[in-house]
Amino acid sequence: MTATSDLQTPHTGTIHNPATGEVAGQVTWTDPAAIPEIAAGLRAAQREWEQRGAKGRAKTLARFAVWLGEHREEIEDLLIAETGKSKTDAVQEVPLLIMILSYVIKTMEKAMAPEKRPAPSKLLAIKKISVHYRPRPVVGIIAPWNYPVANAMMDAIGALAAGCAVLLKPSERTPLTAELLRRGWLESGGPEVFTLAQGAREVSEAVIDNADYVQFTGSSATGVKVMERAARRLTPVSLELGGKDPMIVLEDADIDLAAHAAVWGGMFNAGQTCVSVERVYVLEPVYDQFVSAVLRDVEALQVGAGEGTHFGALINDEQLAVTERHVRDAQAAGARALTGGKRTEGPGSFYPPTVLVDVDHSMACMTEETFGPTLPIMKVATVEEAIRLANASPYGLSASVFSRDHDRARDIALQLDCGAVNVNDVITNLMCTTAPMGGWKTSGIGARFGGVDGIRKFCRQETVVIPRTNAGAGGNYYHNSFKALTRMNKLMTRVALARPRRVAK
């Protein structure tokens, strides 16, 4: 099987469909030495983009949303050709972007409006205090290959709304859809504040070196390298990294619902989702019933690219090898594969949906990120054991709890060490753009989305203090007499010794 991306010359490359090996398209790689000039051009164009104001930028973003809807079929066809996805998976990305755009367009004016702040004491009541949000000129976005459309743009939308310019570095495995998205931005009347840097590690490094803010989505190991590189210039970063998301199924759960969620959450996009279900802990009284329901659902799945299937190929043989290793090592340690368990014969990087039982935390399938279509299920005796095992991980992206008692599920959710928990659902938090999506531990720092915070994260805060009156100005300046300075010191002392207001019981 050929690699997803083959370098032809130092300047061009061929992208192959991992499901068929067919050529998906050609890409021109960016010379890393050209990126400083590219960033300078973005920085120059950004000034006019910022000056349009939130209302002016919203009009352009609205036109871009319309373009996405009108070109959805073209985007999805290229997406399938580039990634080997099923049509079922591919149709999710454009609607998600339009939903994000619709929300951001309604939110951005509020997000960018200056905020008045109260005086901290009577002494400073003569001042008007305001906080302003100023966009960082160039935001570098290093996007992954698993969702080339959604992950490329879901952060770019917030940055563009804030008034930043965006330098997008898509994965070298899936560069083609990014070219189409840039074309759409320009055809929507967007200015030259959104452009691409195509390539691998050297290009990523150049983007980091020339950006004023870096948004990275990818593995935890690469996230560390991104942060180290950005630290050289004290460039702020937001990192959305790997996960090993747990699901907890309580004895009072709706078992059919939990099984449906586990299978979809574990197999969607061939398991290549940062917030996919990667391990399941089931209370002993319902374990057998849950496993039977999962098997029923898995046996109905159809694997293949394009139309009429549930999920498609893995991105390449390298990713497939990780899945194979996790399953093989688990079986050698005593686990059983009730479905799948072996690579699909024939062309393409396909792996069948694989349900593993008799698993424990000595196995990599329960502790390392698989990013493949596997579902390891572990029986637990108590809720406390389930919580302890769910937290026994270096990752902390998201999780899910299934129970008919929502209060009980919420109490368990608040004991899980992760950025988001879904009750009686999976992955849904990714669509809740009013709330932050971020990871704990090695799953990242910072967050995307979060209402106005999802726009303000790309800004610098600037405080402006203006006098209400000239009375009292310069009371402690050196030019005053010692008598005046003494009066000011006494006033400051009275302020410092004033009793704080009582806190209401």
Within a domain: 137: yes
Same domain, 237 and 281: no
Same domain, 89 and 222: yes
C-alpha span between 211 and 167 (Å, rounded): 8
The DSSP letter of residue 267 is H
Within a domain: 117: yes
Sheet order of strands, 336-337 included = 336-337, 354-357, 374-380, 277-283, 245-249, 398-402, 420-423
For 337-405, the DSSP string reads ESS--SPPSSSSS----EEEES--TTSHHHHS---SSEEEEEEESSHHHHHHHHHSSSEESEEEEE-S-
Within a domain: 481: no
Which residues are catalytically annotated? Answer: 240, 274
Same domain, 271 and 416: yes
For 73-125, the DSSP string reads HHHHHHHHHHH--BHHHHTTHHHHHHHHHHHHHHHHHHHHS-EEE--SSGGGT
Decide: 103 and 327 in contact? Cβ < 8 Å: no
Domain count, the chain: 2
Task: Return the CATH number at 43.
Answer: 3.40.605.10
Output the pLDDT for position 124.
84
Same domain, 176 and 249: no
Same domain, 154 and 51: yes
Same domain, 231 and 254: no
Same domain, 72 and 187: yes
Within a domain: 412: yes
Same domain, 207 and 250: no
C-alpha span between 241 and 146 (Å, rounded): 13
Output the pLDDT for position 3.
37
Within a domain: 473: no
pTM of the model: 0.93
> Residue 337 sits in which domain range?
245-434
Cα angle value 425/430/317 (rounded, 5°): 95
Task: Return the CATH number at 284.
Answer: 3.40.309.10
C-alpha span between 215 and 237 (Å, rounded): 6
Q: Which residues contact 193 (CB under 8 A, 6 or more apart)?
A: 42, 45, 46, 49, 160, 164, 165, 166
> How far are the Cα atoms of 197, 247, 429, 438 from residue 240, in angstroms, in the given order?
20, 20, 14, 6
Output the pLDDT for position 481.
81
Within a domain: 285: yes
Same domain, 72 and 95: yes
Residue with tokens 């998301």: 245
Q: How many CB atoms lie under 10 A from the CB of residue 221?
A: 10
Helix (H) or strand (E) holding 209: helix 201-210
Same domain, 238 and 249: no
Residue with tokens 């400083």: 36
Same domain, 274 and 388: yes
Name the residue among 216, 223, 221 with its Cα closest to residue 238.
Answer: 216
C-alpha span between 128 and 226 (Å, rounded): 40
Q: What is the pLDDT of residues 180-202, one digit of tens each?
A: 999 999 999 999 999 999 999 99
The tokens of 304 are what? Answer: 């293949």
Within a domain: 445: no
Within a domain: 10: no
Same domain, 219 and 263: no
C-alpha span between 255 and 108 (Å, rounded): 41
Beta bridge partners of 168: 141, 196
Query: Which residues of the chain have a pLDDT value below 50?
Result: 1-4, 7-9
